[in-house]
Structure 1
């Protein structure tokens, strides 16, 4: 068999192979598995190769006791099955629900976002000072990577507004906007602080437009534009 795609029959057969390997006290070869499950050895070999690629099954060669090729044996990979269903959205709802009931939930969420924003943004050399357009560009790149589909306001020469056309946590944001949106604002604030930007994210308007949230930017207080600093030194 040379096919590499997965059909509707593949998953049950691979699950049956896994269960047979787990039930066996010793490693099994292709022939034993084919006889046990009543399927062709080539089919067994095909599915075993896929299970090995997925990290669910280990393959090793048995030391030969005489002439002939060494025998290939298979065992289930130790550890929990990583192919099962995930429930990350449920976990996020549990954590957000708990956070929303704590005192100063918005402050805590914004602080968490700041920490991660500083971690996720691309660093710049200590000697480098960004101007506002480049800082906005780097912030936009970060939010693009995170799935927010940011769109700086083209009608605004100073780019003091960024529309977020997509929310990667939309269903959660609709239910927990008072907690999740401050976290998003914190992400942007942390990123801008990390790159020593001459701008700050002053606010985030959730669902300000039917198809977008709006981020408002303004010059950072006490942080002069690089050109202004150079003018004062000449």
Structure 2
């Protein structure tokens, strides 16, 4: 079975992390990221005490796996026609890599809470109200994505598949049955454990925004807390 885009992204991140299991490669990575300036192959080889060809192999592998980025320039002091080709310099990649099993996504609630606090400060509304509004608006955008994926003539099954794809991309693990979509994990588990009412309320309004934007009364979001899964369940549309 072909992996989804979300599954492929996780696989790529796992490959990146697994790349650091090789001891020499990990040492070279640490050497590069601890420098304030990009590092050449020669500098890296000398810095960790390995042969130039060994450093080249592992640095290029780190670049391939998305852990390092490169730039090309001539080393200091080499100018003019006889300076040769620009050398390859390595630096830490800007891309963030994080894998958790089961998956957790704290960026989304962090962004929603920051948006809510900003709106509350500007308007004087309670933070709880602005958080609900921020979550609902974000859910609407998720619903719009699902509608685009499903297409204008989508039936119930196509709509469910599209909704599950959008939820999966946000870190949920949707499980569709004949009458509902159950979210078998909570991407915000750590926060929900300590701030249950706040986070579950935010999650409910996120899902309500999603289903409201679909304009399909057959799909509903409701609080349905249970051990080991998300507190919200989506009742499933049926043709």
**TM-score between both structures, scaled by the size of structure 2:** 0.57
Matched, 1:142 2:166: yes
Deviation at 1:137, TM superposition (A): 5.1
**In 2 relative to 1, CA 20–106 (structure 1 residues): closer, same or farther, beyond 3 Å?**
closer
**Unpaired segments of 5 or more residues in structure 2?**
1-17, 99-104
Where has structure 1 moved over 6 Å in runs of 4 or more? 61-64, 83-86, 97-100, 129-133
Between Structure 1 and Structure 2, the one with more helix by share is: 2
**Correspondence for 2:130:** 108
**Correspondence for 2:84:** 70
**In 2 relative to 1, CA 71–111 (structure 1 residues): closer, same or farther, beyond 3 Å?**
same
Aligned-pair Cα RMSD in Å: 4.7
**Correspondence for 2:72:** 59
Between Structure 1 and Structure 2, the one with more strand by share is: 1
Q: Aligned equivalents of 1:112 and 1:16: distance in 2? A: 42
For the Cα contact (< 8 Å) 1:106–1:182, is it kept in 2? no
For the Cα contact (< 8 Å) 2:32–2:90, is it kept in 1? no
**TM-score between both structures, scaled by the size of structure 1:** 0.58
Q: Aligned equivalents of 1:8 and 1:146: distance in 2? A: 33
**Unpaired segments of 5 or more residues in structure 1?**
220-226, 228-234
- Structure of higher CA gyration radius: 1
What aligned pairs does 1:3-152 form with structure 2 within 5 A after superposition?
6=20, 7-16=22-31, 22=37, 30=42, 34=45, 38-50=49-61, 52-53=63-64, 54-60=67-73, 65=81, 70-75=84-89, 77=91, 82=94, 89=106, 104-120=126-142, 121-124=145-148, 128=152, 135-136=159-160, 138-152=162-176
My pick for the range that moved more, 90-99 or 173-182, is 90-99
Match of 2:50, SS state, is coil
Q: Aligned equivalents of 2:167 and 2:81: distance in 1? A: 60
Q: Aligned equivalents of 1:137 and 1:16: distance in 2? A: 45
